[in-house]
Amino acid sequence: MPLVKTWQLIAGSAVAGLALSVAAVTAAGPWDSGQRKAERDRAASWSRTGGTDHDGGPGSGALPEAAPSAPGVLGAIGPGAPREQSAPAEPASAGGLAAALKPLLADPALGTVRTASVVDTATGQVLYESGARDAMTPASTVKIATAAAVLAALGPEHRIRTTVTPGAAPGQIVLVGGGDPSLTAKKKSPAGSGGSLVALAADTAQALKAAGTDTVTLGYDDSLYTGPARHPIGANPNIAPVTALTADEGRPDDSASGPVDRSDDPSEDAARAFRTLLAERGIKVTGEPAKAKAAAGVQPLAVTLSTPVAGLVERMLTNSDNDIAEALARQTALASGRPASFEGAEKAVTDRLTTLGIDTAGSRFADGSGLNRADKVSAGLLTGLLSKAADPQRPELRPVLTGLPVAGFTGTLKARNSGSSPAAGLLRAKTGTLSGVNSLSGTVVDSSGRLLAFAFLTANTPGPEGAEKALDKLAAAVATAS
C-alpha cells in the first residue's frame, strides 16, 4: 500500500481515539486553572459565604458545602438568577461613591485626561461616570475586549489544533500550525497545560513506525495567519512575531511571562524543535525543515490540542500576556470568516462586541494586546463588557471575570492593593500600562455585597508609579464607599 494511504488509515484511527478522549475530558469539565476551577465548583456553592468543601469524593453524590475561608467575589451572579432578584436589598449610594471618587480623580499623578465608569453589574445602574463615552488609549485593558470577543466567537471549551499531516512530496510530513499560543516544546511547560510538541512527536513517531517508516523530510505550514507577523511596534521583548506556529511564545528561556528577547522566526524554531523530538524517538529527519503545504484532503497523523479558550483567556488576563492576546484576536477573525491578520482581527472583534450589544462607536481594536496606541475604547465600553460577563444569561463570558488578577494575590495585581488594603482579595482587575498611559478596569465587591464593574482610563501621566498608586486608591474607594 502506498505510504501516504497507510498513514491515512493509521491517522484515522488515531483521530477517532482522540475524539473519544476529548469527549471524556469535556464531560469531566475541561477547566482546571486555579481561579476558574474554584468558581466552576458550583460557583463557590452559589452562596455569599464563598468557596467549596472538596472532601466529597467522586461518586459521593454530595454537593459541595460552603467554605467560609473563601469569600465569594462573584456572589451576586448565581445560575439563572434574574438580575432584580440577585441584588442586595439596599442600593449602593451613587452620591457616596461620587464624593469618594471626585477628589481622587483630581490627583495630578493621573495625568491631564482621566475618565471613569462604575456600574452595578446586577442592575446595570450607572453609579458614577466621568467622560465615560470618551475614546481613550486603553493599553492592556483592551484585553478585556479581546477576551469577550473570542469567548463569544468560539465558546470557552474550544481547543486549537496543531497537527502533523502527510506532505505533498513522497516521504514528507508537515507540521501544521493552528495558532495555539499554549504550544510548548518542553516536557513540562512553565506556563502550564497546553498543546505539546513532545506528545505530538511521540504520536507521530508511533504512526510512522506502524507504517514501516523511520526516515522522513519535515515541512512546516504556518500559512493560517496572513499579513505582517511583526506587531506595529516592531521587534520588542513584550511580544514575539505573531505566527500560527509558535512554541513557548518564542521565548529562549524558561520564563512564562514578562519581557524577554524573542525568536525572530518562531515557526522555523518550532519546526527545528519538532525535528529534534522526532529524532529522539527514532525518526530520522533528512535535511532542514522547510515551509511546505500538507497534502489536500488527508487525515492528520497526529494532533495536539491547546488549553481550552477559557484557560487561555484566564492566562492572558492574569499575566497580561500579549502573545496569547494576539493569537486569540486572530482566532476570533478565523471564526468570523475574516483574514487572520491584525486588520482582520480588528474587524472581527468589533463585529463580535457589537453582536453582544456593546456600543463600539468611536472604538478601535487595532490589536488584541493593547500595545498599539491606535487602540481606542471608552471606560463605559469596558464596564459594559464586564457587566455582560457577569450576566447569568452569558455564562460563556464568565472567564472574563475569573481571569482577572486578584489584588494582593495574583498576576499583575499581586503587589497592588495588597496587605491591609480594604480591596485586597476583593478587587479583580486588568491593568494597562504604556508610556504616559495607565488604566485599570475590573470588578469589586462593595460594602453591601454588590459586584461592581469599574474602569479608569488616563492619558499623559507623568510616571507609572504615581499613576498606579492613584488608580489603586480609586479602586479601593469603589470597594469601600457606601
CA dist 55 and 140 (Å) reads: 39
Per DSSP, helices labelled H in 156-240 are 197-210
CA dist 369 and 327 (Å) reads: 9
- Which secondary-structure segment (H or E) carries 466? helix 464-480
- Active-site option among 320, 363, 369, 421: 320
320 is catalytic: yes
Q: Note the maximum CA span of the chain.
A: 80
Look up residue 100 and give its three cell numbers. Answer: 469618594
| Side chain identity, residue 295 | A
Find cell 524577554 and name the residue: 260
Q: Distances from the Cα of 255 to the Cαs of 234, 276, 328, 412, in angstroms?
A: 21, 21, 21, 15
Find cell 510530513 and name the residue: 173
Q: Distances from the Cα of 43 to the Cαs of 54, 63, 241, in angstroms?
A: 13, 12, 38
Find cell 527545528 and name the residue: 272
- Active-site option among 143, 376, 388, 473: 143
Strands 215-221 vs 172-176: parallel, antiparallel or unpaired: parallel
- Report DSSP letters for 33-68, one per residue: STHHHHHHTHHHHTSTT-EE---SPTT--PPPPEET
130 is catalytic: no
The SS3 call for residue 171 is: coil
Phi, psi angles (nearest 5°) of residue 290: -140, 155
388 is catalytic: no
Look up residue 388 and give its three cell numbers. Answer: 455582560
- Active-site option among 140, 182, 369, 421: 140
CA dist 10 and 340 (Å) reads: 31
Quick one: CA torsion of 417, 421, 427, 431, rounded to 10 degrees? Answer: -10
- Which secondary-structure segment (H or E) carries 437? strand 437-445
Other Cβ atoms within 10 Å of 228 Cβ, number: 12
Strands 215-221 vs 284-285: parallel, antiparallel or unpaired: parallel
- Which secondary-structure segment (H or E) carries 438? strand 437-445
Closest C-alpha to 146, from 304, 315, 390: 315
Contacts of residue 145, defined as CB under 8 A and 6 or more positions apart, other chains included, come to 349, 353, 365, 377, 381, 382, 385
Q: Which residues are catalytic?
A: 140, 143, 320
